[in-house]
Every structure is written in structure tokens, then in C-alpha cells.
Structure 1
Amino acid sequence: MLEENQHNTDSDVTDVLIVGAGPVGLTLANTLGLAGVGVLVIEKLDRIIDYPRAIGIDDESLRTIQAAGLAGQVQAHITPDHWMRFYTASGQCFASIEPRTDEFGWSRRNAFIQPQVDAILYEGLKRFPKVRVLLGQELQQFAQTDSGVSAEVMGADGRQRSLRAKYMVACDGGNSFVRRSLDVGFEGRTKPNQWIVVDVRNDPLGTPHIGMHCDPERPYVSAALPHGIRRFEFMVMPGETEEELSKPENLAQLMRKVVADPDKVDYIRKRVYTHNARLADRFRVDRILLAGDAAHIMPVWQGQGYNSGMRDASNLAWKLAMVVKGQAGEALLDSYEKERRSHARSMIHLSEVAGDIFAPESHVAAKVRDTVMLALNAVPPVKQYFAEMRFKPMPRYEQGVVLHQSATNNQGARAPFEGLLDRSGNTPLSRLLGLMAEKKDSLLGRLVHGLEAPQPSPVGRMFIQPPVLTSQGQTLRLDDLIGLSFAIIAWGTDPCHGMDDAALAFWQGIGARFIRVMPTGQMAHPSPVRESVLTVGDAQGRIKDWFGAQTKSIVFVRPDRFVAALASPQEVSSVTHQLARVLHAPLPSAKSAARSLQLEALA
């Protein structure tokens, strides 16, 4: 079946061709659609996948969906503050991940059912006249030149179709045809054991959160999901097969570990899968880019496969939009790999470590894990470290569209393990932690090594998203005021003050938002600013606290909400000129800038 979900047209020429209608391709298409970019999505299946896959969505992904304008609909299908608890074989909890922070505007860990969110992303594309989806179309071959990409696709009826685009993004999964055709390496490892996933309706347990039961005889997972769905995952032991485990009597034996009466369970599906950890050698080959599972796949233990793909979409969308619209040179796309590949590697590493802790290779290793983790859990700073999920490596871009030289020289605070890893300590715990730190490649050493590192500069890291008060008295999330734009945000002052004509015209030319933040009490008597500057109140004092930790009072925030640079009011022009260079974007001449500003004043 060929389905064109909206806006029938005979044209198969577009700005961006996306291969694959999974969550990454759909998110990318929605974000590009909001930016006014022409998009064609092709999918070899005749419908988007409707069986459950990912079950964990984090705050960064929800922020990405918010940027695509669909967060309100998605919110109806998530369970916020979804905690993860690890249990020994005897049922004793040795670690509990309970993050309660919402610095990015959403709870850090959330449960969801992927097909429900995918359907919202798919339907969201109907908003855009320049976005089309062709289902039941399999990519057969493609080629690229200096000016674009051409592709041949075939429908289920055998009919061929020729497509052309300026750029192509491969979101076609771990077995990506595009990546293999480009001969891009995909190195990594596959865990020898498999897992059987069992999804059920009418939750037979009804308890919230996720339980990671580290039973060395057969580790298993029990996860509560929205709408009364529960997922169980059991390790497939050596010699077992999917066919054997799926037999009613054997499945009942598995389920007897977790429910009182296996015969009364309302099954949705059963599926066996293998854990892979792979990373593509390259994320860009000229006009073709890889995203999501086509660029990296990782074990499920921290729920980062889905979320890493969403980070790809968020990072790539605004860059593609700027390049396609002529606002930046195509060299900007090089920053996609520079920024995303190293963090994807870190998330693969975290997922592998979590899997090794959950299911070690021997009973002896499991006993050591239980003993050490229970000891660590008794230390308040360590317990807090795990509970708040501080071990998760947040993206921090060292290269790309960032200006570290403009950042504050803050040394940052030491992490909560200060002193605990001191190998000269006299307590048994400090000696144990010191030994673990020395053995970086050990099971637990990989997890705790480096926890004393100073907090880095905010440049290259995601900016916070607290609620703000508008001049109309509304309380909104900050991103909802910015939209898919750069933002120049200042504490208490006009961020445009001191900008030369070229810098001001540059930001206006690419649709940047200028935002002044002040205490809510001052909103009644604000000092004058340029008409284009939006003044908001700091509803909870979080933005003041953020700026209070810096030595600069103006922050340049990218469309994906990462901090590109910091500046003092007297540095805004020079920082703008530097950012224009790393964006490969031309600054207007002094004459054209002055003319542009005159026209703005007349308008």
C-alpha cells in the first residue's frame, strides 16, 4: 500500500529526504516542518510500527517534542517520575534511581508506550503543507552530487519512483541500508545472552515504577507503564529458545516468578531480543547524514537508545533548516557529528555498565556487587548520587557551535564524592572506593571513576527551562516563548544594548529572540528596552540562580537549547561575530545592516 498522508502532489523534489518513519525520522520531520523546510519521509512498511518497543522517555526528549509543538498531546501518555530500583536475589533494594529534578522543564525519568507517541508524531506532520510521508516505499538505491541526492524507491506493487532532495537523513534503523551502502563502519559488541519481553494488559501487579531484579538464577525486569500496561523481561538462559519459552507451560513457569496466577494474565505480545552496542564511524557523508539507530545502537538498561536518537533529531534539525534556507553554509553540518558522536559513545558505555551490574557473568560477581552496592547505599552522598541520576553523562559539546573561550572561568563545585575516593583515607569504604577508582575497567570502577571532576562551564551544555511570567500574567515554560530560534537571554538588562548594527541585523535576520529576565516584582515597573525585546519574570528564581553561578550576564542559547556562548553586555557584538563564523553564516555589511534596522524602525 502506498499512503501519502497529506497534500497530494506530483512533485517528488524536496529539501530533505528522510528514510524511515520511526520516532527519530518523525521528530526530525516535525521540527523541519515547523521551520518551513520541505520534507519527504519514506518508510518501507505500509504503516508505522504499532507494537511496543521503548518504554522510557527522558526530560531531554520531552523537551524536543515540546519544540515540535506536540508535548501537550504526548503528556497524556506518560507517567512522570518513573523510578528504577535494583533488588538482590533476596529482594533487598541495593540502589534506587529516583530523580526528582525538572531543570529542563520535565521530570527526568518517565514511562511511556512508544507507539502512542509515534502516532502523535505521525499525525503531527499533517500540520505542514511542505511535509509528506510515503508509506510502503523501500529505498532501492541512491546517489549524491555536489548539488543534491537522488533516490529510487519501490512500492509493494513493484512500481518504482524517483526522488530528489538537497539532503538525505538515514533514520532506517540498526540494519540501515543507507549506512551499509555508504560502507560506513559500525563497530561494537553483541551480548551473548538474549531476553524475552512479555507485555501484558490489565496490570496484574499494579505497583508503580521499575524493578530490576538481579537474581543470578534468572534476572528479570518488571516495569509499570501507562494505561494499565506492564512489561516483564526475563533473561534467556543458555540452551533456551524463543519457541520453547513461548509455549504456554514454559511462559507460565516464567510468569510464576512475578504473578500469583499466570493463567489469568492478559498477554499483548512476546518477543525475544539481543542487546547490541554499536557506533557508526561517521555520522555524515557529504549530503547524507545518519541518525538514531542507523548511527548508534545500545543496550536497553538505561533507556537511552530512543532518547539518544531524539537528541540526534534535536541537534540536526535546526542546522539542516539553516543550511537549506541559506542562513548558514553546509559546513555547519560537520558540527552534527562532532557534537553527537562522542556523547552517543558515552551513553553506550553507560548502558553497558548498567547491564553488567544488573546481570553479571557469575554468581561470585553478583555476590560482590550486592555487598559493595549495599555498602555504598548506606552512605548518604553516594545514595543521593545514584538517586538523582548524576551518573548519567549529560551532553557537553567541546567542539561545534560553541565558544568556550567566551565562557566564565568557573572552576565549579566538586562532586558529592569529594574525599570518598581519596586513596589515602583510613575508612574501609574510602579504601574500597579508592581501589575501585584505580581499576577503571572493573564492573563498578567504570561507574564511579571520575566522580570528583569539577562541574564544567555551562557552554556546550543544555540551558535550563524554568517557568517564566509573561507581561500578560501567564506562566509558561521558557521554550514556549522562544520557539525554534536562537535566544539571547540577559539577566536584568537589554540583551541588545551595546550590539553593533551588523550583530543586531544578523540575529534579526535569522529570527533570534531577545529576552530580558527580571524578578517578577519588577515586572510592574520595567525599564525601557528595544521593542523587539521580550521581558519575562523569573517565576521561581531559577534563572537568577543560574546567572548567579556565572561571571557573565548574557547567554546565547541555540535552537536545541544548548548554550553556545556567554558574554558580558560589552562583549555581545564580538561574541556574535565569533558565533557567525562557527555557524558558517555571513554577517551583513554595515550598510545593509543599517538599512535593515531602519526598515525595522519604520515598521
Structure 2
Amino acid sequence: MTTACDVLVVGAGPVGLTLANLLGQHGVRVLVAEREQQLIDYPRAVGIDDEALRAMQTAGLVEGVLPHTIPDQKIYMVNGDRLILSEVNPTTREFGWPRRNGFVQPLVDRVLLAGLDRFPNACVRFGAEVTDLVQDADGVVAAFADGTKVRARYAVAAEGGASPTRKRLGISFDGETRPSDGLVIDVANDPIGTPHAVFGGDPRRSYASIALPHGIRRWEFTLFEHESPDLADDDAFVFGLLAPHVPDPSRLDIIRRRVYRHHARIAGRFREGRILLAGDAAHVMPVVGGQGWNSGIRDAFNLGWKLAAVVKGLADDALLDTYETERLGHVRQMVAVSLGMAKEMTDHDPVKAAERDRIAASRTAEEREAQKRQAFKPQPTFDEGVVVHTPLPVFKTLPARDVPRLAGTIFPQPRATDTDGVEMLLDDATGQGWRIVTWNNDPTAFVSVRRLAVLDRLGARLVQVVPRAQLPWARKHAAPGVTVVGDLGGEAGLQAWFDARPVGAVVIRPDHVIAAECLAQELDDVLGRVFAAACLTTTPEG
């Protein structure tokens, strides 16, 4: 038995591979153990959102992911008569990327796998089934089906909704499984050729028709309780389902047909000592909301920087407790939203369907616009964890405002310029990791030497944002170690963001969540509170 790694990731799905890439960037020794001999080659998820694309950007993989996406994919919700109930078409770029995108999951998974080739400290073992995980005070010993064992400091179970690890740990998986299955049919050479997706709330049989990249189209049909999953292999049955959608189902180039269950479940806890659950091992939700895959990526993004900090000795093990604290609330929201959408669009009671149609027809223009911009999708907001809530200032130099708290929300990513004036997305201009962002001010003027020492150990970035017109002056006079960024102005710019909020400094975590916000003069004290919330072991005494 050898200590092969700092972190063992069980499962080479998108969550495990994303986490491994993020850990690889930090120099953490990571081993991904996958039971199968290769990546799963059939599409499961079909939607990737802006938060996940930003995570891919952080991992340095977004340019490989984008060719397998349909940006700004519109969704139409229709009734049994194909009349539009609602339209989902958010076109803003709060986090720098399109908010809704169709994608081909197996091709994106390959990008994630290939990304690990960049790191000598990361590797994947296929055909490696983990049969047990045993913990002690210093680590985890994984037993494999071939009789070998590996020791790691931590293990992350990301092996799907049936997670053997979760079951062995005796962790509950509470929620519900819907009584009817779904049949997925993927075809090549898309016979329809339109770019959008349609969700059909037909009480006779609900369905979805989704355009995917590279000429692929997916159909999903509800199977009734009396219908056997074996019908997926019955051409007559499948062609009968497709007949209302295409002129000649027999001429379709069918790639695959699969039956799946509709689950809405959440693990009783996400951590058991040195073992953590992520992705479907921790939570599953109906596919209608398109957030299962994205929720798993949020897990990896939240957990990655925390595991790296603990493994590298920058933070105490207690930091890992904030993973569940922060993720559980949003997971519950997403499961509830997904389950609500599934019930609304797959209810086969004609009376309930008619009432749904009546409610949709009576929506006001404002309500329809809210549906269109996807206002029903809750954004991650952390009340506890690595966040510091500061009171709103009451000084006479600031107008009284009724603004929501910033700490615990995701910092935006507009386009800006780097120090040389080249336009790019903000994260590329500032660099990744911890960031201290001040408007117009030199951040070092407000941070003590001892706090700067901690920031240096963290590899944090000190960022001074100035209007683009000031960039030449600010660049010339910037303090050592300060990155100057030029704001492009406009409604989406950082000046407008700071204008709308009574703060002048923001502390941003590696996962782009605002850890704290404050006036510039408060920055040093607030940083100390953030360090404490993050359980940093590098905080100087006093």
C-alpha cells in the first residue's frame, strides 16, 4: 500500500474530472479512480449554464468546451396543442458567458479528461473499482476490486446517484422517485434543424425536443407506469412516439435509446470525516430544469479551492465543513425548482393541464418577461460559511439605499481591460484565486503589512479598478504587486456596479463568491474576519 495522492476522487464523471483539474492547478496530488474502462459515451445532461462555463474558464478549459455548445439556446414551453405557455431566453452576460447553452456532454467530458494531461500531479485510473474506504485520523485507505490499496489524505465520492460510497457510509438519500420513467432518443443528422429546445406539456404524453451541437437532436418522452422499459428496443413503439415530430421516423439515424428514472433526492450529509460527497452522489434532480450537471460543477468549484487550501496547510480542516453549509441550501432550491417544473410539464391529468394553461395565459407582460430572463432560477447565496456580512454604512457622503447583501453572492464578470489596455473578460484581466478589488484606490494603502503577508501566502491578487481613461496614469503609479484593470464603463461595467452599492472594496474568493464587501478604510479589519471565516492557519498572531 502506498500514499499515492493527497485527494482520491472516486468517479471520472464531469464532477470528478472538474474537481481533479482544479486540484491539479493548485499542485495537489490527485488520483481519479473510475470503475469503467473508459468515459461514458452517451449524453446525459444537455444544458450548461454561465456559472459552469465560468468554472471551465477558471480551470483553463473553456476554449475546449465552447465548440461543443449552442450559446443562448432558447426554450419554448408548450401545451398539448403546441401553443407557447412560456419562453426562456436570457441573453444577459452577468458572469461573462451565455446563461443557457446546449451541449454534448461526452465531448465536454473528454475535454475535462484531456485537461489532466497538463498536470504531473494528476492521473486517472480506469477499470479501478473502489470497493471500500476506511478512515483513520490521518487519511483514507481505498480498497480496489483487484486487491490493491491506496492511501489518500481525503476522498471525494463523485460516482453518481447510486453512489456505493454513500451507501457504505450509511448516509440517507431523502426525497422521491417519480413513478414514471423517461425514454431518451438521440439522433444524428437532425431532421428538424432548428436551434431551440421545446418542452411539451401534453397531457396525452409529455415530451422534449432539444437541438444539440454537431447535428444531434434529443427527444425525451414520458413512459407510463404500465409501459415496460423494454419498449425502448421496440422500433414500432419508438417510431410511433416520433411520428408526430418528424415526417418519417424510420429514416432517422438513431444513435442511442435509454430509459432513465426521475429522482429528486439529497444526501443527509455531504461529509463524513475525510470523505466528501459531490455531484449526483450528494443530490439528484429531474432533468427538466437542466441543473443536475451544473449543480455538480458548483460542488466541484466550491470544494476544489477548499481542499487545496487544507491539503497545502493554508487552512484548517474545519474549512471543509463550509462545503455542505454553503452548498446545501442552493441544492435544495434547485431540486425544488426542477421538481416543480417536472410536475408542471409532465402532469398527465387533463384537468390540471388545463388549469396550468389558464394560468399561463393570464400572466402579465412583466411575468412573461421574468420567465424569459429565467428569474425562477435561484442564484447561489450564502448566509453562512466563508462569508463576512458587514453592516451597511450610514455616513452622510453616501445616499441611503435599499440594496441586498453582497457577501455570499457571485461577483460579476464584465469585459474590462488588462494593465496594457487589452480588452478581455474580468477574470482573465485580474488573474484567478483570491482577489482584493478596490475601485480607483490603491488597495495596499488600506491593508496592513501582516495582512499583506497572509495574502501573499494565499497567492491573492490585489486589483485596482480604474476608469479606462485613467489607465495610463494608474499603470505608471501602481504600487508593487498591484494589478491595474481598466473599466469599460456602461451599464454592465464595474463603475456602474460600485455606483449601485455603498462599498469601495470587495474580497473575492477563488470560486468568484464575494467573501466580504466594505468601505476602503474598513478593508484591513474585514480581511481579518475573512481569514478567520476561512479557517486560515497562516493568520499571524494578534
Letter in 1 for 2:477: P
Offset, 1:55: 0.4
Aligned 1:167-182 pairs, distance under 5 A? 167-182=154-169
Task: Indicate whether 1:67 and 2:15 are aligned.
Answer: no
Q: 1:581 aligns with which of 502, 520, 532?
A: 532
Q: 2:408 aligns with which of 460, 464, 477?
A: 460
Equivalent residue, structure 2, for 1:598: none
Offset, 1:361: 4.5
Offset, 1:411: 9.2
The whole-number CA distance in structure 2 between the counterparts of 1:250 and 1:369 is 29
Equivalent residue, structure 2, for 1:323: 310
The whole-number CA distance in structure 1 between the counterparts of 2:539 and 2:286 is 47
Distance change >3 Å, CA 145–CA 126, structure 1 → 2: same
Q: 2:368 aligns with which of 383, 406, 409?
A: 383
Task: Indicate whether 1:194 and 2:181 are aligned.
Answer: yes
The whole-number CA distance in structure 2 between the counterparts of 1:271 and 1:192 is 17
Offset, 1:139: 0.7
Deviations 1:295-333 (A, max 9, x none): 000000111110000000000000000000000100000
The percentage of aligned residue pairs carrying the same residue is 42
Task: Indicate whether 1:554 and 2:511 are aligned.
Answer: no
Task: Indicate whether 1:544 and 2:489 are aligned.
Answer: no
Task: Indicate whether 1:528 and 2:477 are aligned.
Answer: yes
- Is the Cα–Cα contact under 8 Å of residues 406 and 566 in structure 1 kept in the other structure? no
Deviations 1:507-545 (A, max 9, x none): 111100011111111112227231111111112441111
Equivalent residue, structure 2, for 1:118: 109
Distance change >3 Å, CA 90–CA 590, structure 1 → 2: closer
The whole-number CA distance in structure 2 between the counterparts of 1:125 and 1:238 is 43
Deviates more, 1:15-24 or 1:237-246: 237-246
Task: Indicate whether 1:489 and 2:474 are aligned.
Answer: no
Q: Secondary structure at the match of 1:301?
A: helix
The whole-number CA distance in structure 2 between the counterparts of 1:88 and 1:179 is 39
Distance change >3 Å, CA 306–CA 588, structure 1 → 2: closer
The whole-number CA distance in structure 2 between the counterparts of 1:150 and 1:14 is 11
Aligned 1:17-416 pairs, distance under 5 A? 17-154=8-145, 159-376=146-363, 379-405=364-390
Offset, 1:186: 0.7
The whole-number CA distance in structure 2 between the counterparts of 1:207 and 1:76 is 18
The whole-number CA distance in structure 2 between the counterparts of 1:197 and 1:498 is 57
Q: Which runs of 5+ in 2 are unaligned?
A: none
Distance change >3 Å, CA 128–CA 380, structure 1 → 2: same
Deviations 1:463-521 (A, max 9, x none): 00111112223211111234441000011111221211111111111100011111111
Aligned residues between the structures: 535
Q: Which runs of 5+ in 1 are unaligned?
A: 1-9, 414-454, 592-603
Q: Secondary structure at the match of 2:66?
A: helix
Q: Secondary structure at the match of 1:218?
A: coil
Q: Secondary structure at the match of 1:328?
A: coil
Q: Secondary structure at the match of 1:217?
A: coil
The whole-number CA distance in structure 2 between the counterparts of 1:35 and 1:370 is 51
The whole-number CA distance in structure 1 between the counterparts of 2:298 and 2:400 is 27
Offset, 1:74: 0.5
- Is the Cα–Cα contact under 8 Å of residues 59 and 108 in structure 1 kept in the other structure? yes
Aligned CA RMSD, in angstroms, stands at: 1.7
Q: Secondary structure at the match of 2:176?
A: strand
Offset, 1:590: 7.6
The whole-number CA distance in structure 2 between the counterparts of 1:489 and 1:334 is 27
The whole-number CA distance in structure 1 between the counterparts of 2:319 and 2:486 is 34
Offset, 1:244: 2.7
Deviations 1:112-153 (A, max 9, x none): 010000000001101000111111011111211111111111
Equivalent residue, structure 2, for 1:420: none
Q: Secondary structure at the match of 1:18?
A: strand
- Is the Cα–Cα contact under 8 Å of residues 567 and 575 in structure 1 kept in the other structure? yes
- Normalising by the residue count of structure 2, what TM-score does the alignment of the two structures yield? 0.96
Equivalent residue, structure 2, for 1:444: none
